[in-house]
Structure 1
Amino acid sequence: MLFNKIHHIAIICSDYEKSKHFYVNVLGLEVIKETYRAARESYKLDLALNGNYIIELFSFPNPPKRPSRPEAQGLRHLAFEVDDIEVVISNLKEKDIAVEPIRTDELTGKRFTFFSDPDDLPLELYEK
């Protein structure tokens, strides 16, 4: 198989307005399109990073919780590449987002850390 790239990541949130605010206003992702699907009582928000389509944010009535820590089976985290991890951490902290201490990847020597979205989905910052 010849894959070109990851097309998008789909996230189901528990509170659409709260998650929309987080991904758009806190993380700065761009809204491509917002759709309300009445038959599903669901919003779908298409988001981009630097012009590249990256996330579909969904809302559904009463979605079940998915375990995410510690090391539960399934998608482990979503990682964002950054140029300067300390600048991004400072920006997140200014917006009252808790960020774990910086660690160093023992295999690559690159610095990384984690923070969480409103549904406690682990998000990673990975320094370029």
Structure 2
Amino acid sequence: MGVKALHHVCIQTECYEESKKFYTEILEFKIVKETPNFHNRDYNTWLRLGDFMIELQTPKTGTKFSKWSSMNAGPVHLSFLVDNVTETYEKIKSKGYNDFKVKNGEEIYKVENGYLFKVKSPEGTEIEVRDEADI
């Protein structure tokens, strides 16, 4: 097939400024290109973190999105690997962001070989942050 790598994930949002702020200020993506008035959308923006990119889009004019749900088919969350889950969690909280998923009364919880937490972006994308790549 010749696939070399995952290039990007496209995320659509009706709360563009809040989502852009989340990905750039909280998760520290860098804006590569922000294009207003892109194919009947208010914005189409490319964000980069290392070799990974997010294409952040607003809806086409006159379109309303269905709300995201983990019960939909297709991708359920994005997962990022970090050196220290607790430090990353504390860094996000120190920036004033607090929309974390709670499991068994905890925001950080143990999985097979490490720890993880999940944070919800303004448009509803669930972001998993973990400290162990082994599955």
CA contact (8 A) 1:46 1:53 kept: no
Aligned to 1:110: 114
Give the 4+ runs in structure 1 shifted more than 6 A.
Answer: none
**Residue type of the alignment partner of 1:66:** K
Deviation at 1:104, TM superposition (A): 2.5
Deviation at 1:116, TM superposition (A): 0.4
* Structure 1 residue ranges without an equivalent (≥5): none
Secondary structure at the aligned position of 2:64 is classed as: coil
CA contact (8 A) 2:68 2:125 kept: no
**Residue type of the alignment partner of 2:53:** I
RMSD in angstroms over aligned alpha carbons?
A: 1.7
Aligned to 2:67: 66
Normalising by structure 1, what TM-score? Answer: 0.85
Separation in structure 1 between the aligned mates of residue 74 and residue 54 of structure 2, nearest angstrom: 17
Number of residue pairs matched by the alignment: 124
Deviations 1:70-93 (A, max 9, x none): x33221001111111111100111
1:33-112 mapped onto 2 (5 Å cutoff): 33-37=33-37, 39-50=39-50, 52-60=51-59, 61=61, 62-69=63-70, 71-98=71-98, 99-100=100-101, 101-106=107-112, 109-112=113-116
Separation in structure 2 between the aligned mates of residue 17 and residue 80 of structure 1, nearest angstrom: 22
* Structure 2 residue ranges without an equivalent (≥5): 102-106
Normalising by structure 2, what TM-score? Answer: 0.81
Q: What fraction of aligned residue pairs are identical, expressed as a percent?
A: 27
